[in-house]
Amino acid sequence: MTDLAEPGAITQTTRKDWTSDQEVRWCPGCGDYSILAAVQMLLPELGVRRENTVFLSGIGCAARFPYYMNTYGLHSIHGRAPAIATGLAATRPDLDVWVVTGDGDSLSIGGNHLIHALRRNINITILLFNNQIYGLTKGQYSPTSEVAKVTKSTPFGSLERPFNPLSLALGAEATFVARTHDMDRKHMMETFRRAHDHRGASFVEIYQNCNVFNDGAFAQITGKDNRGEMLIPLVHGEPIRYGPEGEHGVVLRADGSISLVEVADVDESDLLVHDEHRDNPGLAFQLSRLSRGPFEPTPIGVFRDVERAEYGAEMARQIEETTARKGPGDLRDLLRSGSSWTVS
C-alpha cells in the first residue's frame, strides 16, 4: 500500500490500509486496542486520504497511538501535543489533525495547552483516553482519579478533587464536546465521525479501561449488563431518556437544575430535549456533571456542537485580506519602510 496514489482520486481503503507495520505494544486487554480498532475502521468510511491525515500525541500509553497508524505521525513530548498541533493545523488547513492524549498528558502537564487549543478553536480532533490513572509510569493517581484513591503515590488515599474533563472543556469555550467509552465500538465510531466532521477543535472523552493499574474503573456503567440502566444516550432533538424501556429521563427543574426522574412520574413533555447547538453552554455543563462519577447514570454522546470561526481559517483570511488591500509583500519596499536616504 505504498504506491504513490493518484492525486485527486480517493481510492477505497480498508482498515488494513490504515494499519502500520509496527507491532502494537499495549498491555494485553488494554482498552486502547478497541479505540485503535474503532479509529482504523472509521477512517475508510470518512473518505479521507492517508497522506492528508496526521496523528499527533504527547507522552503516555495513549501517546503510542501514532506509531500504529499508517498515516503521517508525530509522537512528541509530555503535554505539548495541542501546542504542536496548533502550529501544524494553523499552517496546513488541508490536513486532518488528530491529537491522541491521556488524562495525565492533557489534564495535568499539558492542561494549559488543552484549554487554549479549545478556546482558540484550532481545527483538531482531540481524543482523550481517560483511564483515571497514570499507566506508563506504573500506577500513580491522575487528575481524574477519585478522592481517596489509593495508588502507588497515595498509599493513604488521594487528597485531590478530580477534574471533570467535559466541564473543563466547556469552560474553556470548546465548540464540540462529546463522551464515549471503549466497550462500544459503534458508539465510538459514531462519536469520532461527528468529531472529525466538526470544524474547529473537537474534544472527545473516552472512558478507557486500564486493566493493569485501574481495572474496572468504569465497569459499573459500561459493562454490558449495566449499560442500559447506567448510560444516558444524548440524541439531538430528542427528549433525554434512558433505561431498557426508556423508563428513566432527565428534567429541567424550575430552579434551573437538572435531575433524573422516572418518566412515569412526570408529563413526557417535561423531559429535557437535548440541543447540541444551544449557544449557551450552561445546560451542556449541567449534563456533564449529572453523574458524580462512573457509578451513577452518566450521559454519553455529543454534549455540544456549535459553529465558531476556526483559528487557522481566520489566520488565512487575515493574510488574504491584507494581501488584497496592500498587494503582495515586496521585500525591497519592506526594507525601505522606515525613512531611507541615499548616499551617492
Q: Which residues bind other proteins (CB under 8 A)?
A: 1-5, 7, 20, 22, 49-54, 56, 66-67, 69-77, 80, 83-92, 94-95, 112-113, 116, 315, 318-319, 322-323, 325-329, 331-332, 334-336, 338-344
Instruction: State in angstroms the smallest separation of the CB of 43 from other proteins.
Output: 13
Instruction: State in angstroms the smallest separation of the CB of 34 from other proteins.
Output: 21
What is the C-alpha to C-alpha distance for residues 238 and 248, in angstroms, rounded to an integer? 14
DSSP single-letter state for residue 24: P
Which of 23, 225 has the CB closer to other proteins?
Answer: 23
Do residues 291 and 164 touch, judged by C-beta distance below 8 A? no
Instruction: State in angstroms the smallest separation of the CB of 153 from other proteins.
Output: 22
Instruction: State in angstroms the smallest separation of the CB of 254 from other proteins.
Output: 40
Do residues 257 and 290 touch, judged by C-beta distance below 8 A? no
What is the C-alpha to C-alpha distance for residues 245 and 228, in angstroms, rounded to an integer? 9
Which of 41, 74 has the CB closer to other proteins?
Answer: 74
Instruction: State in angstroms the smallest separation of the CB of 68 from other proteins.
Output: 9
Q: Give the 3-state secondary structure of residue 180.
A: strand
What is the C-alpha to C-alpha distance for residues 182 and 31, in angstroms, rounded to an integer? 6
Which of 71, 291 has the CB closer to other proteins?
Answer: 71
Which of 264, 335 has the CB closer to other proteins?
Answer: 335
DSSP single-letter state for residue 270: G
Do residues 171 and 182 touch, judged by C-beta distance below 8 A? no
Which of 66, 301 has the CB closer to other proteins?
Answer: 66
Instruction: State in angstroms the smallest separation of the CB of 325 from other proteins.
Output: 8
DSSP 66-107: GGGBSSEEEE--TT-HHHHHHHHHHH-TTSEEEEEEEHHIII
Which of 71, 222 has the CB closer to other proteins?
Answer: 71
Residue in this structure with the C-alpha cell 474534544, named with its chain if needed: 203
**Angle at which helices 185-197 and 32-46 cross, to 10°:** 50
